[in-house]
Structure 1
């Protein structure tokens, strides 16, 4: 009997050794958690590894643990339908553009955490609860429904808040003819969206959303960025500060409204508070158009730049870029701005002194 047990143990050991040799040492589990081996982690595509690194950095900061205690279980390539990366957050703006990215699954401190990421940006997926997935589904349905109703870009619709409520029955307060509903209290949500100074309400539960109606906000706000000191010796040419203005409710897109106020320069009240800018009443009409593609904004300008800024005004040029880009990134979920003068990007490049043949 003893010899038989020894033979079984020997065979088991040989099978285990053979399995390791067949699968390769890269499949051996390293570290404190089960995850990708160091070799497999290094072999990830550069973009995938960057998202995984950002995920680990975020988790390490939020959970106050060392990054090496975070096991990456997998990194999967996906295409998100918009720049929300599948996680809609109140107050954020998103572009309706397919966005390639990754889903990163991790394990740390006994709990699983999932992140979505693209181009260095990562967002945490609400953990665990089924209700979190329901909320995301209802938010997305509401956003896309309002976008279609208003025929506006997705970036014009912002979630203001979502609150749990209880409906008297399954009709969610909006019964349809000849449709049966459960006649029991139904937990759900009230979703408040905002687009161009108008607020919109939805009631939602399960897989159903109901458009309730709209009402004007007391006013609309626009944020532009200004300087406090443009003297070259102050070395503040790229340092800008947000200024929020209250404006009448209009149907103008947020980006158009922001550019109108930006290029018109500081108001008298703002100037009295010490704010300065390369823009003034003389530049109010110098922008000609704005469009977005992916996470890039394309801004076309009138051919008046030489009259606005002197050819040797390096500080003014830096200030110009700082105010425009900070203001646009406030109202558009973009990372880059491409400039042109009357449709010609080379003309702007030359005016900035970045390309040969400066104007």
Structure 2
């Protein structure tokens, strides 16, 4: 195993590590639990955002994290605003609100934090994405966060609203519905080995490639700095506290078969000295002549309807996944988010994220533990269909 400390920021947006191995583990240096107290952090068209003299359109363009989930808000009259109220806070404690904004016509947009007192920040919004923040000491148990301006008629693109406890703006935590809390060190990271596609991991999650990798490229999932360690190695891979292994059953009929039932397991020692060698004969009719890799699978699902983003579909239910499955190939007509969980996820990161904004053709093999379903939704707001090849264990 090799351990690599790292710090990723705007100045160092990615690093590539020339290290062999097939196992990658990401550990975060962040030590304390964090929470986004604001719900619907990427859904400004939701009813939870109260609106006056303003309209909101969902998923109209590229967001700062590379997804297509930026919303557009447009003031329709002077003194427009949108807000979320009754955010639960502790009186006397400091809270920081933040949001990404850009516009086609530069100008001022105001951020407000309101309870018994009003705090205001005038933001100079340009054509480039920028994350703005305002800090306020609460004077009651309920707080409101508001976005607004006096000028109207211009389009303002927004993404990733957040209210968190403390005087500083931390890494963005997405929320769908009610606010969401992350445990210690939940900053996500993008991992791309030279042997496969890019996936998104939370701290402590592991990723194994189907073959040894010669370099790994990592970058933050969001726009915030990250600090932690990368642990890269090879050999046995401990998946959900159960080591992957193969048991061989040798019989006196001079046949060796692969089996996994307790009664037929026989320990075999493979050596290369003369006394331990066993003659093996091969039937030419049972050999497969191959000039390229052959994909093996046991089951398939075809033409599954993939709805717009925000709606999950079960590619494979938890009830169908009795002993575990391996996803061999996913082919879709639109990019998608893929997640493993026993029940339907409540947000993009509620469960084991297998792929985020995945390509139309993905042949990266992924083992899904028994009892978990495989869920999918569109990543770009467009409907489509999906075909999946998988192996039942």
TM-score category of the 2 structures, normalised to the smaller one: under 0.3
TM-score (normalizing by structure 1):
0.27
When you count helix as a share of all residues, which structure comes out higher? Answer: 1
Larger Rg: 1
TM-score (normalizing by structure 2):
0.25
